Structure 1
């Protein structure tokens, strides 16, 4: 009985990432169009329509990494495919580039989902003269 528990603990601790029954290495070995078969329907349609753009983006990423340059892009609508896992990409938020490390759990999502374009607004308290009652206060 104790042996079964040890084996179960070993299996749980060495669990690797699976996406729809495939390991990350198996998914990375596939072509962009072949890996699209494992994506949700909307992402699959987008990848199959724009696979040339995605392949060019991957080639651009690989060439910039080999030159030890940062990857920066305005393309927020690109679907994350398995070949992009492991890259750190600077995604434009409308104002700045925010670096995002692409992880296996992000497969099937779009780049723009991980960089918000709108920030939280935090208003301070009103200053002197901002309201009628505060005009009588001394400065």
Structure 2
């Protein structure tokens, strides 16, 4: 009774397009056709070629592995990766990210932030001249 479930993409009012191409069209394009559509930085990465680790990660996506964990933040998100869930290392922990169609031709590292928002408390006693007017409890 084990059914193979596929991740559902979020519902949209209209179908996702990238420069007039639907996601299925992007998936069916060859490498040269795809390079004509992508932005210059992504095109440059494709021309220079993927590293061995990036090729292995891409093969994991193509084989359909369920749990993909990676340290490779510089991997370009290709149309065939859309809808998959990846755990990306941010320097401290692996962050779960579901790849949306809008992420196509961005990098994995953009979706696992390495720095957190800092919320400072109030100044301590003796921190500044103005802090001596802070009432003590």
Q: TM-score, normalised by structure 2?
A: 0.71
1:60 paired residue number: 60
Over 3 Å counting, the alpha-carbon distance change for 1:14 and 1:123 in structure 2 is closer
> Could you tell me how far apart the structure 1 residues matched to 2:64 and 2:91 are?
22
Over 3 Å counting, the alpha-carbon distance change for 1:116 and 1:109 in structure 2 is same
Give the drift of 1:110. Answer: 0.7
CA RMSD of aligned residues (A): 2.7
| Aligned counterpart in structure 1 of residue 126 of structure 2, from 90, 106, 131 | 131
Give deviations 1:12-54, integer Å, cap 9, x for gaps: x863111122111111123455423211011111122224654
Consecutive unaligned residues in structure 2, runs of 5 or more: 1-11
> Could you tell me how far apart the structure 1 residues matched to 2:51 and 2:118 are?
39
Q: How many residues align?
A: 119
Contact 1:17 1:24 in 2 (8 A): yes
Deviates further, 99-108 or 13-22 = 13-22
> Could you tell me how far apart the structure 1 residues matched to 2:93 and 2:30 are?
32
Contact 1:90 1:99 in 2 (8 A): yes
1:5 paired residue number: none
> Could you tell me how far apart the structure 1 residues matched to 2:64 and 2:93 are?
19
Over 3 Å counting, the alpha-carbon distance change for 1:120 and 1:27 in structure 2 is same
> Could you tell me how far apart the structure 2 residues matched to 1:125 and 1:131 are?
12
Matched residue of 1:99: which SS? strand
Matched residue of 2:118: which SS? coil
Contact 1:94 1:117 in 2 (8 A): yes
1:8 paired residue number: none
> Could you tell me how far apart the structure 1 residues matched to 2:109 and 2:60 are?
18
| Aligned counterpart in structure 1 of residue 110 of structure 2, from 107, 110, 113 | 113
